[in-house]
Structure 1
Amino acid sequence: METGNFNEYFKFFIALLAIVNPVGTIPIFINMTANQDEATRNTNGSIASLSMGIILVIVLFTGEAILRFFGISVGSFRVGGGILILLMAISMLNAKMSNVKQTREEALDSADRDSVAVVPLGTPLLAGPGAISTVILYAQRHTSAAHYVYLFGAIVLLTGLTILLFRLAPTISRLLGKTGINIVTRIMGLIMAAMGVEFITHGLKQLFPILAS
């Protein structure tokens, strides 16, 4: 694989990591599993991470068909996805959970659930609209089988990393504290903001070719 291609897939992984933001989700994960023993908490963390991975893999291979079904052009989806990611980034830069991922009503509803692994942890907190949009947009860049294999590998790597982070959640929370986690969230938000602007720019160039010149 050429260096340029490697950079593209590395960028995809970093972008997805910033949007999913498993470190920033740790306080929510700990709060939702506060009454569970370590084994049960680890199981729920693994299920949530695997749910995220499965959802993103399904989107990876069906995203193009979804766009065709609704008659949405890639350019329009880039602009829409970029705006969505930009809105999420603004919330993260303020160290807040974006309403795009979870509203206050949904948070209150999840507090009454016995099982929180798949919903709301797996989706929409991890595999939310931003992550789904990013996977679809990157999948559209090439049509080769190798391209999809590399994207699939990045999703699998992110899934494994999220499982590990959730298993270490209590330790990470103690080491970083709320301030440390907020700093990580703001850094991820900054990466997301830049990515959102890039998506919007490329989308506008596709919709209005005159801008590309």
Structure 2
Amino acid sequence: MIAAPLLDFFLAALTTLMVTVDPPGLAPIFLSLTLGMAPEARRSVAFRATLIAGGIMLGFAFFGQPVLGALGIGLPAFRIAGGLLLFWIAFEMVFELRNRRKSGVARTAIDEDHIRNVAAFPLAIPLMAGPGTITATMLIAGSARGEPVRLAALVGVIALVSLACLLVFLAAERLSKLLGITGNLVLTRLLGVILAALAVQFVIDGVRAML
């Protein structure tokens, strides 16, 4: 039987990361970023993004604070940089720059480099393993106080959150078919505005933390 303190730690970590990553909220964004891709390519993006984001969370859980401290980089800088990068993606989505590029891609085969690029940025980072997720992961790792059992529980939590994201991405394919071409285009515009607001919030949080 799991000890109560360990169970509390596990549940608190799972709740925190689930809320921070928000797998259900990533589904429509995943659809927008993979617009025009074949089902096989979309599944490839889902698997790659999940592995990359999971690896990033694990890396920051165990080595984040020492590495950032050695480089003299603070978490507020991560928030600001992530916000600026995300705002550019939102700008493309709102003004159809991304859609035009995707429509051209849809007429040709999706090459491996394109799939890797979309999976790594912006899906894996900063959308899945963004500043908030990185911060939460490092804080949870700090609260483990180096105890092997708690660190193992944190690894399990990261695996569960990553699995939840993967399942949501795979289920998003059906949603894409239901929406159709027009529905996907409208959804892309709406999500572009939401992403822009999220990006601005990242920058605001970063500046606030610096001040």
* TM-score (norm. length: structure 1): 0.63
User: Matches of 1:105 and 1:153 in 2, distance apart?
Assistant: 34
Which secondary structure does the structure 1 equivalent of 2:36 belong to? coil
Which of 83, 89, 104 aligns to 1:106? It is 89
Residue 100 of structure 1: CA displacement?
Answer: 3.4
8 Å Cα contact 2:6/2:150 also seen in 1: no
Residue 63 of structure 1: CA displacement?
Answer: 2.1
Alignment correspondent of 1:41: 42
Amino acid at match of 2:140: Y
8 Å Cα contact 2:39/2:173 also seen in 1: no
Which secondary structure does the structure 2 equivalent of 1:140 belong to? helix
Amino acid at match of 2:63: T
8 Å Cα contact 1:51/1:118 also seen in 2: yes
Amino acid at match of 2:39: E
Q: What is the number of equivalent residue pairs in this alignment?
A: 162
8 Å Cα contact 2:27/2:169 also seen in 1: yes
Residue 33 of structure 1: CA displacement?
Answer: 1.2
Per-residue CA distance 1:127-153 (angstroms, 9 max, x = gap): 000000001011111211112111011
CA RMSD of aligned residues (A): 3.5
Alignment correspondent of 1:209: none
**Which deviates further from its counterpart, 100-109 or 146-155?**
100-109
User: Matches of 1:69 and 1:120 in 2, distance apart?
Assistant: 26
Alignment correspondent of 1:90: none
8 Å Cα contact 1:101/1:124 also seen in 2: no
Amino acid at match of 1:106: I
> Is structure 2 residue 48 aligned with structure 1 residue 53?
no
Residue 71 of structure 1: CA displacement?
Answer: 7.2
Q: Which runs of structure 1 show a deviation greater than 4 angstroms over 4 or more consecutive aligned residues?
A: 172-175
User: Matches of 2:46 and 2:62 in 1, distance apart?
Assistant: 25
Residue 66 of structure 1: CA displacement?
Answer: 3.0
Structure 2, unmatched stretches of 5+, are 103-113, 195-204
8 Å Cα contact 1:26/1:166 also seen in 2: yes
Which secondary structure does the structure 1 equivalent of 2:164 belong to? helix
8 Å Cα contact 1:13/1:154 also seen in 2: yes
8 Å Cα contact 2:10/2:154 also seen in 1: yes
